[in-house]
């Protein structure tokens, strides 16, 4: 990085004026000449000073423009440095204007959603567990809250395009391994469907809830289990197969747990935690961590269940790079780990039990290039977020060659990736807010729903009537 304090120096004029009150005596003619030269040099001094300050202003302005984006290229032997001033602008990205009725009508095709008022045992009672609103599965809570306060909500079910069923199933955690205890999910959901189908006609009139929406924000989505083989064996509950599922699980190949109309959503990361991290970071700080990962990395990945965690990927990462000077790998929890992400150039996002990871969201929000290691993963909101432009994909079989792969990226196109990464559109699309903001994660969900309005019973009836009349 160029030190402008040594390269762009100003100058000054040092002048000595002699006049009739000095120690030399001049005749009247010389006094007149001295007065002339005094005025002449005074004018020269004024011009010089004016040019100096004007030039300094231009240099400072130019410097500010060039540091507004992370354009520092990285050689294979240097660490990337990015001004923390970028994080200050990032904060404003998380605070966009709330949607207006006009924007809903035009961009979301006047979408209307009715939210069932279910007994508290299906949702509010679960909030007694404080983690319920903040853990990585909490999009089920965040989406519900945002919809309740939004202009897309209608209190008249007869004008609704879709019906939202607010059942929280991921709030309960086991104390041993931290997994969501999903054994209650199927009976709770079945009970909710029984309740709404017996109380109101809209489930049955749409041929088994085809215009009804559920959230499945855990490992294998609509299959409601954290272990893939069990999830596949159990499959999607029969009563939900015609509905629309908002789920974090998605792959680019056929899979029984996504064999349903679905909208792929990101895992939940609290916007407040991101803002807090940004506020704590010093201005003009450095990205002094080259490659970062903090999380579960088992030395012996085959656990008591007989399954290999992360398909051994994390174990290979640990075994290969835990002594590498450019890899910052930690196996233990740390509440302030987001500050480590904000200091890092590359953030590893390997699969766990499922292919998706909350690190994807945190990396994008904090300006660290996500390195996705999960074969076949399907990523959320791909029509808005240009994932190939802001992230790297490394095949699971190539994880042992990570150092060479990242060095090559650093020597070629890292600057471009970082510039794309700081596009506010990408970061905004990953955040669930309490109130819907234009372009945020809940807005992206609504936009996706506006593209499948053919599933709306009300719209299909209107279209049928129009076609009949014409």
User: DSSP string covering 39-91, please?
Assistant: HHHHHHHHHHHHHHHHHHHHHHHHHHHHTSS------TTS-----THHHHHHH
Instruction: Examine residue 132 and state whether it is found in any structural domain, yes or no.
Output: yes
Residue 97 domain flag: no
- What is 226-245 written as a DSSP string? SSHHHHHHH-S-GGGTTSEE
Q: Which domain holds residue 218?
A: 108-266+433-469
Structure tokens at 414: 């890292």
| 333 part of a folded domain | yes
- 317, 179: one domain: no
Q: Do both 242 and 277 map to the same domain?
A: no
Q: Where are the beta strands (DSSP E) in 336-443?
A: 344-350, 369-373, 392-393
Task: Say whether both 211 and 334 belong to one domain.
Answer: no
Residues 311 and 366 in one domain: yes
Cα distance between residue 357 and residue 142, in whole Å: 18
Radius of gyration of the chain (CA): 30
For residue 7, is it within any domain?
no
The Cβ of residue 203 has, within 10 Å, a number of other Cβ atoms equal to: 25
In a domain, 312, yes or no: yes
CATH of the domain at 360: 3.40.50.2000
Rounded to 10 deg, the angle between the 402-412 and 414-421 helix axes is 80
Residues 249 and 154 in one domain: yes
Tell me whether residue 47 is in a domain.
Answer: no
* 226 and 328 fall within a common domain: no
Residue with tokens 């404080």: 130
Residue 41 falls within a domain, yes or no?
A: no
89, part of any domain: no
Residues 337 and 355 in one domain: yes
Pair (312, 447) in one structural domain: no
What's the rounded Cα separation, in Å, for the pair 274 and 94?
9
Whether residue 247 is found in the same domain as residue 296:
no
Residues 317 and 409 placed together within one structural domain of the fold? yes
Which pLDDT tens digits describe the chain residue by residue (470 residues)? 434 444 444 433 344 443 434 444 434 444 455 555 556 556 666 665 566 555 544 444 443 433 333 333 333 333 333 333 343 344 445 555 555 566 566 899 999 999 999 999 999 999 988 888 998 999 999 999 999 999 999 999 999 999 999 999 988 765 555 566 788 999 999 999 999 999 999 999 998 999 999 999 989 999 998 889 999 999 999 999 999 999 999 999 999 999 999 999 999 999 999 999 988 877 666 899 999 999 999 888 887 677 888 999 999 999 999 999 999 999 998 989 999 999 999 999 999 999 999 999 999 999 999 999 999 999 999 999 999 999 999 999 999 999 999 999 999 999 999 999 989 999 999 999 999 999 999 999 999 999 999 999 988 877 655 454 44
Residue 225 CB: number of other CB atoms within 10 A?
23
| Cβ-proximal residues to 397 (8 Å cutoff; 6+ apart), any chain | none
Relative to beta strand 261-264, strand 113-115 is unpaired
459, two tokens: 């719209």
Q: Kindly state whether residues 176 and 242 are assigned to the same domain.
A: yes
Q: Are residues 138 and 241 in the same domain?
A: yes
**Could you give the number of structural domains in the chain?**
2
């Amino acid at each position: 990085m160029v030190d402008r304090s040594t390269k762009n120096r100003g100058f000054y004029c040092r002048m000595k004026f002699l006049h009739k009150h000095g120690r030399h005596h001049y005749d009247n003619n010389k006094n007149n000449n001295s007065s002339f030269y005094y005025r002449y040099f005074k004018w020269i001094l004024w011009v010089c000073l004016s040019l100096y300050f004007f030039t300094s202003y231009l240099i400072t302005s130019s410097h500010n423009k060039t540091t507004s984006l992370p354009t520092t290229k990285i050689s294979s032997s240097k660490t990337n440095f990015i001004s923390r001033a970028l994080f200050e602008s990032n904060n404003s990205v998380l605070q966009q204007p709330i949607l207006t009725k006009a924007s809903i009508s035009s961009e979301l095709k006047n979408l209307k959603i009715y939210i069932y008022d279910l007994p508290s045992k299906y949702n509010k009672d679960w909030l007694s567990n404080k983690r319920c609103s903040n853990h990585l599965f909490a999009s089920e809570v965040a989406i519900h809250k945002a919809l309740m306060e939004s202009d897309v909500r209608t209190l008249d079910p007869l004008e609704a395009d879709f019906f939202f069923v607010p059942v929280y199933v991921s709030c309960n955690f086991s104390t041993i391994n931290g997994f969501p205890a999903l054994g209650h999910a199927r009976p709770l959901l079945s009970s909710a469907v029984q309740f709404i189908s017996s109380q109101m006609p809209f489930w049955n009139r749409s041929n088994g809830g085809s215009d009804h929406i559920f959230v499945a924000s855990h490992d294998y989505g609509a299959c409601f289990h954290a272990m893939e083989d069990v999830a596949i064996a159990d499959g999607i509950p029969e009563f939900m197969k015609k509905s629309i599922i908002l789920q974090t699980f998605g792959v680019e190949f056929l899979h029984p747990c996504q064999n349903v109309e679905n909208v792929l959503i990101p895992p939940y990361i609290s916007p407040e935690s991101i803002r807090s991290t940004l506020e704590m970071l010093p201005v003009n700080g450095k990205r002094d961590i080259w490659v970062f990962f903090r999380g579960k990395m088992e030395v012996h990945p085959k656990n008591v269940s007989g399954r290999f965690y992360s398909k051994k990927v994390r174990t290979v990462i640990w075994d290969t790079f835990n002594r590498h000077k450019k890899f910052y790998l930690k196996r233990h929890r740390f509440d302030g780990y987001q500050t480590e992400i904000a200091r890092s150039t590359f953030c590893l996002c390997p699969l766990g039990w499922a292919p998706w990871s909350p690190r994807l969201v945190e990396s994008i929000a904090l300006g660290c290039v996500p390195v996705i290691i999960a074969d076949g993963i399907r990523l959320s909101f791909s029509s808005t977020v240009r994932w190939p432009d802001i992230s790297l994909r490394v095949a699971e079989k190539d994880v042992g060659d990570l150092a060479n792969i990242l060095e090559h990226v650093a020597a070629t196109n890292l600057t471009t990736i970082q510039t794309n990464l700081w596009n506010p559109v990408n970061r905004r699309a990953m955040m669930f807010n309490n109130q819907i903001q234009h372009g945020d994660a809940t807005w992206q969900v609504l936009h996706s729903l506006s593209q499948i309005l053919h599933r709306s019973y009300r719209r299909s009836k209107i279209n049928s009537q129009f076609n009949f009349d014409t």
